[in-house]
Chain A
């Protein structure tokens, strides 16, 4: 069964450093999302992406964040200058356009 994959599974970085989180969507999926879950809190929407453009973004998704699909397969989330409060699990989700979104296993980001 096709799956969404994410790399790396874990990332430890120093505050102020840039990180890039990668996602490989299910092959026929066209809509892509990033969510995050801070430890002990609920899963929160960050951004949605379709047709090489951001469709919607939350107030969390400020100028430090960016997304792109550089090569037609990977979907990336970049955090330019990480802060302590960016420590969280980051999940990629994809869909064909239907309501059901399929999630990857997540990247655990720890900012020191």
Chain B
């Protein structure tokens, strides 16, 4: 069951630059998308979300873009900071029910 995919298992970015994390989905019934950040041995921490009726949502350094026709969303982090180094999970839901997660992207922000 690969309804939500994150094709890049890892990403390395220099401090101060932009980090772009990508996510694709196959189920057109999904109507809400979320990004979670996860450190080792901790639970996922909610970062930012977007409804399917929007194409962009911004919160401080974090912006999520949604392209419904391509079934693609991305998370932009600008500027990237060393504390952003973590695993980022994309998740999708329909009608506020269970979350379907992607496999995650390990982001490393280097000094």
Contacts and interface: CB of A to CB of B under 8 A. Distances in A.
Given A42-B101, A45-B100, A103 B45 contact: yes
A98 B99 CA distance: 12
B83 interface: no
A97 B32 CA distance: 13
Interface size class of A (residues with CB under 8 A): 20 to 34
Interface residues of B, number: 22
Interface of B: 32, 34, 36, 41-46, 49, 89, 91, 93, 96-104
16 contacts: A4-B43, A6-B43, A33-B98, A43-B91, A44-B101, A48-B97, A56-B97, A56-B98, A93-B99, A98-B96, A99-B32, A99-B34, A100-B46, A104-B43, A105-B43, A108-B41
Return the 10 tightest CB-CB contacts between A and B, nearest first. A103-B43, A45-B98, A99-B32, A43-B101, A42-B103, A99-B96, A103-B44, A105-B43, A42-B101, A106-B43
